Amino acid sequence: MVGKAEPVNGSVKSGSNQSIPATMQSPLKKSDLIPNLSLKTLKLKTKQQELLIRVSILCLVYVLAFITRLFSVLRYESMIHEFDPYFNYRTTLFLTEKGFYEFWNWFDSESWYPLGRIIGGTLYPGLMVTAAIIYWLLRFLRFAIHIREVCVLTAPFFASNTTLVAYFFGKEVWDSGAGLVAAALIAICPGYISRSVAGSYDNEGVAIFALLLTFYLFVKAVNTGSLAWALASAFAYFYMVSAWGGYVFIINLIPLYVLVLLITGRYSMRLYVAYNSMYVLGMLLAMQIRFVGFQHVQSGEHMAAMGVFFLLQVFFFLDWVKHLLSDTKLFQAFLRITVTTAIGVGAIALGVGMASGYISPWTGRFYSLLDPTYAKDHIPIIASVSEHQPTAWSSFMFDFHILLFLFPAVCLISAIAVSATIKNLTLVARAKSKVTQTGSVRGSSSSKGSSKASLDQSQPFQRNGAIALLLGAFYLLSKYATHCTWVTSEAYSSPSIVLAARGAHGNRVIFDDYREAYFWLRKNTPPDAKVMSWWDYGYQITAMGNRTVIVDNNTWNNTHIATVGRAMSSYEDEAYEIMRSLDVDYVLVVFGGVTGYSSDDINKFLWMVRIGGGVFPVIKEPDYLVNGEYRVDKGAAPKMLNCLMYKLSYYRFGELTTEYGKPPGYDRARGVEIGNKDIKLEYLEEAFTTSNWIVRIYKVKPPNNRW
Partner 1 sequence: MPKLALFLILIHFLPFLCTSFSPENPSSRRVLVLLDDLALKSSHSVYFKSLQSRGFELDFKLADDPKIGLQRYGQYLYDGLILFCPTTERFGGSIDLAAILDFVDSGHDLIIAADNNASDLIREIATECGVDFDEDPAAMVIDHTSYAVSETEGDHTLIASDDFIKSNVLLGSEKIEAPVLFQGIGHSLSPANSLVLKVLSASPSAYSANPKSKLSSPPSLTGSAISLVSILQARNNARILISGSLVMFSNRFFRSGVQKAGTPTKHEKSGNEQFLTELSKWVFHERGHLKAVNIQHHKDGEADEPSMYRINDDLVYSVEIYEWSGRSWEPYVADDVQVQFYMMSPYVLKNLSTDKKGRYFTAFKVPDVYGVFQFKVEYQRLGYTSLSLSKQIPVRPYRHNEYERFIPAAYPYYGAAFSMMAGFFIFTAVHLYNK
Nearer to partner 1, 40 or 706 (CB): 706
Give the list of residues 6+ apart from residue 75 with CB closer than 8 angstroms, or none: 489, 493, 494, 500
- The torsion defined by the Cα of 678, 684, 688 and 689, in degrees rounded to 10, comes to -30
99 binds partner 1 (CB under 8 A): no
- Applying CB under 8 A, the span of 110-118, 384-392, 414-422, 480-488 interacting with partner 1 comes to 110-118
Nearer to partner 1, 170 or 545 (CB): 545
Total chain residues near partner 1 (CB under 8 A): 20
Helix H or strand E segment including 699 = strand 695-700
* DSSP secondary structure string for all residues of 270-326: HHHHHHHHHHHHHHHHHTTSTTTTTHHHHBGGGHHHHHHHHHHHHHHHHHHHHHH--
Q: How far is the CB of 704 from partner 1 (least distance, A)?
A: 8
- Applying CB under 8 A, the span of 101-109, 183-191, 207-215, 691-699 interacting with partner 1 comes to 101-109
Gap between the Cα atoms of 456 and 444, Å rounded: 18
Nearer to partner 1, 362 or 556 (CB): 556
Q: How far is the CB of 586 from partner 1 (least distance, A)?
A: 16
Nearer to partner 1, 105 or 332 (CB): 105
Q: Which of residues 44, 104, 122, 133 is near partner 1 by CB under 8 A? A: 104
Phi, psi of 676 (to 5 degrees): -125, 100
118 binds partner 1 (CB under 8 A): yes
406 burial level (CB within 10 Å; 0-12, 13-18, 19+): middle
- Say if residues 565 and 620 touch (Cβ distance below 8 Å): no
527 binds partner 1 (CB under 8 A): no
526 binds partner 1 (CB under 8 A): no
Q: How far is the CB of 555 from partner 1 (least distance, A)?
A: 18
Q: How far is the CB of 106 from partner 1 (least distance, A)?
A: 9
395 binds partner 1 (CB under 8 A): no
Nearer to partner 1, 660 or 707 (CB): 707
Q: Which of 170, 165, 173, 172 is nearest to 182 (CA)?
A: 170
- Contact letters (x/-) for partner 1, 623-652, by CB under 8 A? ------------------------------
Q: Which long-range contacts (CB under 8 A, 24 or more apart) does 402-407 make?
A: 402/480, 403/185, 403/189, 403/190, 403/191, 404/191, 405/189, 405/191, 405/192, 405/194, 405/195, 406/191, 406/246, 406/249
Nearer to partner 1, 549 or 697 (CB): 549
103 binds partner 1 (CB under 8 A): no
115 binds partner 1 (CB under 8 A): yes
Q: How far is the CB of 578 from partner 1 (least distance, A)?
A: 11
* DSSP secondary structure string for all residues of 535-573: GGGHHHIIIII--EES--SS---HHHHHHHHHHHHSBHH
Q: How far is the CB of 369 from partner 1 (least distance, A)?
A: 32
Give residues 412-441 in contact with partner 1 (rule: CB under 8 A): none
Q: Which residues pair with 640 in a beta bridge?
A: none
Gap between the Cα atoms of 633 and 650, Å rounded: 11
* DSSP secondary structure string for all residues of 317-382: HHHHHHHH---HHHHHHHHHHHHHHHHHHHHHHHHHHHHHTSSB---HHHHHHHSTTHHHHH-HHH
557 binds partner 1 (CB under 8 A): no
- Applying CB under 8 A, the span of 12-20, 102-110, 357-365, 510-518 interacting with partner 1 comes to 102-110
Beta-carbon count within 10 A of 90 CB: 22
- Applying CB under 8 A, the span of 60-68, 70-78, 97-105, 127-135 interacting with partner 1 comes to 97-105
Three-point CA angle 25, 213, 388, nearest 5°:
100
Cis peptide before 114 (omega within 30 of 0): yes
280 binds partner 1 (CB under 8 A): no
Gap between the Cα atoms of 487 and 567, Å rounded: 40
Handedness of CA 626, 653, 647, 689 (dihedral sign): positive
114 binds partner 1 (CB under 8 A): yes
Give residues 569-588 in contact with partner 1 (rule: CB under 8 A): 581-582
Q: How far is the CB of 104 from partner 1 (least distance, A)?
A: 6
Q: How far is the CB of 573 from partner 1 (least distance, A)?
A: 12
107 binds partner 1 (CB under 8 A): yes
Q: Which of 183, 187, 170 is nearest to 64 (CA)?
A: 187
113 binds partner 1 (CB under 8 A): yes
Q: How far is the CB of 590 from partner 1 (least distance, A)?
A: 26
Q: How far is the CB of 237 from partner 1 (least distance, A)?
A: 23
- Say if residues 582 and 550 touch (Cβ distance below 8 Å): yes
Alpha-helix residue ranges (DSSP H) falling in 174-202: 176-188, 190-196
- Applying CB under 8 A, the span of 98-106, 253-261, 366-374, 375-383 interacting with partner 1 comes to 98-106
Q: How far is the CB of 585 from partner 1 (least distance, A)?
A: 12
109 binds partner 1 (CB under 8 A): yes
707 binds partner 1 (CB under 8 A): yes
Q: Which of 227, 109, 220, 108 is nearest to 173 (CA)?
A: 220
- Applying CB under 8 A, the span of 55-63, 112-120, 227-235, 424-432 interacting with partner 1 comes to 112-120
Q: How far is the CB of 560 from partner 1 (least distance, A)?
A: 10
Q: How far is the CB of 116 from partner 1 (least distance, A)?
A: 5
Q: How far is the CB of 229 from partner 1 (least distance, A)?
A: 22
SS3 226: coil
Give residues 69-88 in contact with partner 1 (rule: CB under 8 A): none
Give residues 686-705 in contact with partner 1 (rule: CB under 8 A): 702-705
Sheet order of strands, 695-700 included = 548-549, 530-532, 586-590, 695-700, 684-689
Phi, psi of 118 (to 5 degrees): -80, 100
Q: Which of residues 46, 48, 105, 433 is near partner 1 by CB under 8 A? A: 105
Q: Which of residues 116, 472, 622, 635 is near partner 1 by CB under 8 A? A: 116
- Applying CB under 8 A, the span of 114-122, 340-348, 604-612, 672-680 interacting with partner 1 comes to 114-122
Longest dimension (CA), the chain: 115
Provide the binding-site residues for partner 1, judged by CB under 8 A.
101, 104-105, 107, 109, 113-116, 118, 528, 548, 581-582, 702-707
